[in-house]
Amino acid sequence: MKQFLRRLLSLSISTVLILQSSSIALAKTGPAVPWFADVSLMKEGFYDDVIYAGWELGFFYGTAPKQFSPRRTVTLAESVTFLGRVYEKLSGITLEEPYSVGDIEPGRFYSRYAIWAREKGLLDPFFQKSFQPDHPMTREDTAILLYRFLLLFDTAERIDMEKAFHYMDEEELSAEGQEAVYTLSAIPLVPYDRCDYEKKWLAPTKNTLRREMASYTMRIWRIAAISMIPAKSRVRTETTG
């Protein structure tokens, strides 16, 4: 158990270092393999750091050779795959496809992660009729999925709810969507559209992009990893980090 916790501590620290030094490392060593032609500091800003950091950790890959498609809408299949790989890294367990599920096509890149997500309650009753791999994720969809994932871990003490805020259009959300979005706003983990200097609008029906989901995945990974570190080790890490 102690060895497992030390491993988690090392991984969480490594993630922070990757996020801070990714651009520098890429500049020194040349293009990463695979190099995403559509991801660069000039085009995607800070997103290139999280995309390459997540790729190095094995959380996500491209949509085609040398393509990440950062501005394409993320699908449900991609979303549960991103989070499923984070869960594998945190738990040290490799998820398998132990059985066939009628509405989840076997042998696909997302199959075992979709089965895992359903077993963990990440999907039910989110998508009650059937698993829809190509479902384009909205901001509300994403918030609910991320919130349910965080509930799998003891993350409450890692979220400072004093930083939470209400969105101007939150009445458009479902009851669970409101709870999820309000909690995640304290991280912050869901973007908002700026209409003026002070007001924040979620635009809950707006689609989540792949680059945004990559960013959320890396933040979720760090929060969940730190929550699993014993309190004494966590304090030591934060005071020296």
pLDDT for the residue numbered 97: 81
CA distance 120 to 65: 32
Residue of 182, 186, 241, 230 lying closest to 3 (CA atoms): 230
| pLDDT tens column, 187-222 | 877 666 654 445 688 889 999 999 999 999 998 898
Distant-in-sequence, close-in-space partners of 78: CB < 8 Å, separation ≥ 6: 60, 110, 210, 213
Please check whether residue 205 is in contact with residue 173, taking contact to mean a CB–CB distance below 8 angstroms.
no
The residue ranges of every structural domain in the chain are: 1-71+210-241
Q: Up-side HSE of residue 196: CA atoms within 13 Å toward CB?
A: 3
pLDDT for the residue numbered 142: 94
CA distance 55 to 130: 29
Which of residues 129 and 61 earns the better pLDDT score?
61
User: What average pLDDT does the structure give for the chain?
Assistant: 77
pLDDT band for position 167 (cuts 50, 70, 90): confident
Flag whether pLDDT at 24 surpasses 80: no
pLDDT for the residue numbered 30: 40
pLDDT for the residue numbered 31: 42
Phi-psi sector, 92: left (phi>0), alpha (psi -120 to 50), beta: left
Flag whether pLDDT at 239 surpasses 70: no
| pLDDT tens column, 59-117 | 999 999 889 999 999 999 999 999 999 999 999 999 988 777 888 888 999 999 999 99
pLDDT for the residue numbered 42: 61
Kindly state the DSSP code that residue 78 receives in the 8-state scheme: H
Residue of 73, 71, 41 lying closest to 206 (CA atoms): 73
Which helix or strand (DSSP H or E) is residue 213 part of? helix 210-227
Is residue 194 classed as helix, strand or coil in its secondary structure? strand
**Residue 146 token pair:** 């991320």
Which of residues 116 and 40 earns the better pLDDT score?
116
CA distance 225 to 9: 7
| pLDDT tens column, 100-115 | 788 888 899 999 999 9
